[in-house]
């Protein structure tokens, strides 16, 4: 009789090594896929300057300052047109905007006759808090990119221009691809601001000036009529030239 064969134990399987042997190739494949999905040198984001003009608020309000007092600027409006020596008949002008005193004003992509470099004149109208027509020109701060406000309507701005407490004029050359800073004169107190909107044609200031005696009264009449022009340039002229003539005429009354 043959002896019974001895039983053999099955070899012990190392499960940890088996799992690692399976996962190692999968990890290598995942790493290769990840590397192929990520560019080695991502392209940098380029900044494209805005074509337009900037009004430096700090320089504009120098000597007056910003604030809520009657002798401080609260908000200001800018109305841009082509300079007199530039080609006329360009659609889309004038362009306007209303800005808080502490913020630089920016008018982007001003229309030009051929899309090139041209000179512009910018009329500035500034108000203190008490006289600013907030219901008509307010609401222009922190607007979404696709929103608009009445301050961007030049006709509305010019309607209330005679109520501005200060005025001045800026000049600038718009260059494609550049945000050019405008050169502005000092703010001049507008003595006709008390006339209110749509009263530029009234002769009340002039009439009061003619009561003054002699030469002072005649000079006051000229200043009052010039300041009473209902147009953009009239408001600026009244502020520039109506200072002492209107005051002298009023004292004469």
Domain edge (last residue) among 155, 189, 223: 189
**Domain co-membership, 145 together with 86:** yes
pLDDT at residue 67, as a whole number: 97
Least confident segment among 74-78, 85-89, 91-95, 140-144: 85-89
Does 23 fall in a domain?
Answer: no
- pLDDT tens, residue by residue, 91-139: 788 999 999 999 999 999 998 877 778 899 999 999 999 999 999 998 8
Does 239 fall in a domain?
Answer: yes
Domain edge (last residue) among 189, 204, 222: 189
- 64 or 29, which is more confident: 64
Place of tokens 């003054």: 212
Domain edge (last residue) among 189, 219, 238: 189
CA dist 242 and 83 (Å) reads 24
**Domain co-membership, 155 together with 75:** yes
Count the domains in the chain. 2
CA dist 58 and 119 (Å) reads 23
pLDDT at residue 27, as a whole number: 60
Tokens for 77, please give them: 């409006």
pLDDT at residue 38, as a whole number: 52
- In the structure, what pLDDT confidence band is assigned to residue 169 with cuts at 50, 70 and 90? very high
- Residue 206's contacts (CB-CB under 8 Å, 6 or more residues apart) are 220, 221, 224, 225, 228, 249
pLDDT at residue 76, as a whole number: 98
- pLDDT at residue 253 tops 60: no
**Domain co-membership, 58 together with 78:** yes
**Domain co-membership, 166 together with 195:** no
- pLDDT at residue 167 tops 50: yes
Does 168 fall in a domain?
Answer: yes
- 180 or 33, which is more confident: 180
Does 128 fall in a domain?
Answer: yes
- pLDDT tens, residue by residue, 183-231: 999 999 998 665 566 544 443 333 443 344 343 333 333 333 333 333 3
- pLDDT tens, residue by residue, 241-250: 333 333 343 4
Q: Provide, rounded to the nearest whole percent, the portion of the chain with pLDDT above 70.
A: 53
**Domain co-membership, 117 together with 239:** no
Tokens for 118, please give them: 């041209």
**Domain co-membership, 57 together with 163:** yes
Chain length of the chain: 253
φ and ψ at 2, to 5 degrees?
A: -85, 140
- Any bridge partners for residue 7, and if so which? none
**Domain co-membership, 70 together with 134:** yes
**Domain co-membership, 129 together with 250:** no
- 189 or 239, which is more confident: 189
pLDDT at residue 209, as a whole number: 39
**Domain co-membership, 148 together with 181:** yes
**In sequence order, what E strands does 18-59 have?**
52-55
Does 10 fall in a domain?
Answer: no
pLDDT at residue 148, as a whole number: 79
Average pLDDT, the chain: 72
Does 223 fall in a domain?
Answer: yes
**Domain co-membership, 157 together with 128:** yes
- pLDDT at residue 155 tops 60: yes
User: Which domain, by its residues, includes 216?
Assistant: 191-253
**Domain co-membership, 71 together with 185:** yes
Does 34 fall in a domain?
Answer: no
Does 6 fall in a domain?
Answer: no
**Domain co-membership, 217 together with 202:** yes
pLDDT at residue 147, as a whole number: 72
């Amino acid at each position: 009789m043959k002896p019974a064969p001895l039983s053999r134990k099955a070899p012990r399987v190392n499960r940890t090594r088996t799992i690692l042997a399976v996962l190692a190739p999968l990890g290598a494949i995942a790493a290769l896929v990840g590397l192929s999905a990520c560019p080695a040198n991502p392209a940098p984001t380029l900044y494209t300057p805005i074509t337009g003009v900037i009004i430096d608020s700090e320089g504009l309000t120098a000597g007056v300052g910003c604030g809520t007092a009657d002798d401080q600027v609260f908000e200001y409006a800018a109305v841009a047109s082509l300079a007199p020596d530039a080609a006329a008949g360009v659609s889309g002008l004038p362009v306007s905007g209303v800005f808080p005193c502490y913020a630089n004003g920016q008018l982007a992509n001003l229309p030009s006759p051929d899309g090139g470099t041209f000179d512009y004149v910018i009329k500035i109208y500034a108000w203190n808090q008490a006289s600013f027509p907030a219901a008509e020109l307010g609401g222009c701060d922190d607007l979404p990119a696709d929103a608009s406000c009445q301050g961007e309507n030049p006709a509305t701005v010019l309607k209330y221009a005679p109520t501005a407490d200060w005025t001045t004029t800026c000049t600038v050359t718009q260059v494609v691809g550049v945000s050019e800073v405008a050169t502005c004169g000092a703010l001049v107190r507008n003595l006709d601001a008390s006339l209110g909107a749509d009263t530029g044609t009234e002769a009340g200031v002039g009439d009061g000036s003619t009561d003054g005696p002699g030469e002072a009264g005649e000079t006051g009449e000229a200043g009052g009529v010039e300041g009473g022009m209902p147009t953009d340039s009239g408001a600026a002229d009244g502020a520039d030239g109506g200072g002492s003539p209107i005051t002298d005429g009023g004292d004469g009354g």
